[in-house]
Amino acid sequence: MSILKKLLIVPPVALAIGLFVLSGQSAKSPQVATQGKEKPTPVKVIGAKPMTVVPSVSAYGKVQPDRKWDAVAQVAGPVIWTADSLRDGLLIAKGASLLKIDEREYELALAQIEAQIEALNTKTDTIAASLKIEQRALALLEDDLGRKKSLLSRGSTSQAGVDAAERALLTQDAKVQTLKSTLKLNEAEGKVLQQQREISLLNLKRTELKAPFDVRLSSVDISVGQYVNKGQKLFSGDGIAVAEIVAQLPIGALRPLIGKAGEVGAPLNALSSQQGADANRHKAMKAKVVLHTPRSDIIWEARVDRVTAAMDPKTRTRGIVLTVQDPYGQASPGQKPPLVTDTAVEVILQGMPRKNMFALPASAIRKGKVMVVDAEKRLRFKPVKVAYIQGDIAVLMSGLEPKEKVIVSDMPAPVDGMLVGPKPDKKLLERVMAEASGKAPSKGAK
């Protein structure tokens, strides 16, 4: 091959090598540029702030009276009178007369028993008088027998005379014993008649129905002329002195509320024991009942009365009973209605405040860790210990320091050390603080 041909072949080869080198450099250049200009991921954060946390829980229940009266006829007969106030929904004072059943039959029964008692008393008096006479005759016969025995010993009378005197004495003694037995029987019969008289008086009293306590009437279905049987229900009445609300709460929901201040996760001794210092600890909780209306929320102060013994195995909930004193007396026309039976209300319970606690949105915790922003604006995972979950927030026992920036954004694939652009979420922090302080009650604690 000539030298010219060799020179013609070399440039294309050199050109190809040069293009290959240039293409390799151009492929590397974007990566180097990217590494030099890392773009931060925007995230929302809230500052960790020690605060006073008020454990709270809310649930719903229906209002029920603490006492309920079912007016049942205790005697049979036609109704001869009903009060004008015997109407569904009206308030009745204790002792007010509401209904009368015809009492004539019971008056006659009482009169008959009293007549029997009077006849028995007369009979008893007659027998008592006869007994005195017969006892005197018995004494005379005893003296006569004594004399005849004395004469017999001196030979002044016969044995036949003595025997006749003894027979007369025995006969008279039998009469006396019969009269005494009759008096005892009359005494027993008198007691029976007195008991029957008491029953008749009681039945006569039962012909009139009176309110046993202050009530609000319901289910009234009785009128004058209607015949009622013994045991028949006539109407009902709900006590108005105290209202009860039974709210169902998940097992463990009350634990943060019942533990002493600073004892996060204290045992729920108050729900399982009725003895010792912890027996009434659940009664120290603050409680209120809220009726939600289109215009406003109406609030009643309440107290925790007791916890039901049974647990619902299906829902794994337990009932807590709240009471409201004088629910009708607190009513104000046009402003605050009374707490009537079957009204659906919300109950809010609050425990003892706990100071210097950290609260975060529960969604900010993943597998026991939170995401924080370090001084170089890098994402870091940090383990925390949760005391309990209260609604949408988590109350922490440890793991955070004041002023640490906690990421609250929903990040699908966070990487430790990635660059972030934090932006404070003031509204979320305000909501967290409100719920933690009890101003925005949660639906439950876990």
Given a contact cutoff of 8 angstroms between Cβ atoms, the answer to whether 235 and 216 are in contact is no
75: CB partners within 8 A, 6+ apart: 101, 106, 203, 206, 207, 230
374 vs 55: CA distance, rounded Å = 31
272 vs 254: CA distance, rounded Å = 12
61: CB partners within 8 A, 6+ apart: 245, 246, 247, 248, 322, 344, 345, 347
CATH of the domain at 128: 1.10.287
Q: What φ, ψ does residue 94 adopt, rounded to 5°?
A: -60, 135
Tell me the percentage of the chain whose pLDDT exceeds 70. Answer: 85
* pLDDT above 50 for 109: yes
* pLDDT above 50 for 278: no
In this structure, the answer to whether residues 230 and 331 fall within a common structural domain is: no
In this structure, the answer to whether residues 220 and 91 fall within a common structural domain is: yes
* pLDDT value for 253: 82
Residue 14, domain member (yes or no): no
CATH of the domain at 363: 2.40.420.20
Q: What φ, ψ does residue 408 adopt, rounded to 5°?
A: -115, 0
Cβ atoms within 10 Å of 276's Cβ, excluding its own: 10
* pLDDT above 60 for 269: no
* pLDDT value for 251: 81
Q: Among candidates 91, 58, 86, which has minimal Cα distance to 71? A: 86
In this structure, the answer to whether residues 130 and 249 fall within a common structural domain is: no
Domain boundary among 350, 384, 405: 350
Mean pLDDT across 17-30: 42
In this structure, the answer to whether residues 341 and 251 fall within a common structural domain is: yes
Mean pLDDT across 197-204: 97
In this structure, the answer to whether residues 385 and 317 fall within a common structural domain is: no
* pLDDT value for 16: 42
Given a contact cutoff of 8 angstroms between Cβ atoms, the answer to whether 396 and 387 are in contact is yes
pTM: 0.69
* pLDDT above 70 for 98: yes
Domain containing residue 196: 104-207
* pLDDT value for 446: 52
* pLDDT value for 110: 97
* pLDDT value for 344: 96
Cβ atoms within 10 Å of 168's Cβ, excluding its own: 16
CATH of the domain at 90: 2.40.50.100
Average pLDDT score, the chain: 85
Residue 195, domain member (yes or no): yes
Residue 7, domain member (yes or no): no
In this structure, the answer to whether residues 198 and 219 fall within a common structural domain is: no
- Environment class of residue 358 by beta-carbon count within 10 Å: exposed (0-12), middle (13-18) or buried (19+)? buried
Domain boundary among 350, 371, 390: 350
Instruction: Note the pLDDT tens digit of each residue in 187-197.
Output: 999 999 999 99
Residue 446, domain member (yes or no): no
Token pair listed for 195: 């008991």
Length of the chain: 446
Residue 231, domain member (yes or no): yes
Mean pLDDT across 63-89: 96
Given a contact cutoff of 8 angstroms between Cβ atoms, the answer to whether 414 and 398 are in contact is no
Instruction: Note the pLDDT tens digit of each residue in 344-386.
Output: 999 999 988 899 999 999 999 999 999 999 999 999 999 999 9
Q: Among candidates 287, 320, 271, 282, which has minimal Cα distance to 56? A: 287
- Region for residue 445 given its phi and psi (left: phi exceeds 0; alpha: psi -120 to 50; beta: otherwise): beta
Token pair listed for 240: 């108005």
275 vs 350: CA distance, rounded Å = 23
Q: Is the dihedral of CA 416, 418, 422, 426 positive or negative?
A: negative
Given a contact cutoff of 8 angstroms between Cβ atoms, the answer to whether 271 and 307 are in contact is yes
| Confidence class for position 234, pLDDT limits 50, 70, 90 | very high
| Residue 276 DSSP label | S
In this structure, the answer to whether residues 277 and 400 fall within a common structural domain is: no
In this structure, the answer to whether residues 90 and 132 fall within a common structural domain is: no
| In 155-297, alpha helices (H) | 159-206, 255-258, 269-272
Domain boundary among 321, 350, 379: 350
CATH of the domain at 250: 2.40.30.170
* pLDDT value for 440: 64
- The number of distinct structural domains making up the chain is 4
Residue 385, domain member (yes or no): yes
In this structure, the answer to whether residues 332 and 391 fall within a common structural domain is: no
Mean pLDDT across 48-71: 93
* pLDDT above 70 for 99: yes
In this structure, the answer to whether residues 94 and 121 fall within a common structural domain is: no
In this structure, the answer to whether residues 249 and 337 fall within a common structural domain is: yes
* pLDDT above 60 for 35: no
Given a contact cutoff of 8 angstroms between Cβ atoms, the answer to whether 376 and 415 are in contact is no
- 423 vs 306 pLDDT, higher one: 423
Residue 148, domain member (yes or no): yes
| Residue 269 DSSP label | H
Residue 36, domain member (yes or no): no
Instruction: Note the pLDDT tens digit of each residue in 394-419.
Output: 999 889 999 999 999 998 889 999 99
| Residue 324 DSSP label | E
Q: Among candidates 213, 200, 237, 224, which has minimal Cα distance to 99? A: 224
* pLDDT value for 254: 80
| In 39-158, alpha helices (H) | 104-154
* pLDDT value for 280: 56
In this structure, the answer to whether residues 225 and 323 fall within a common structural domain is: no
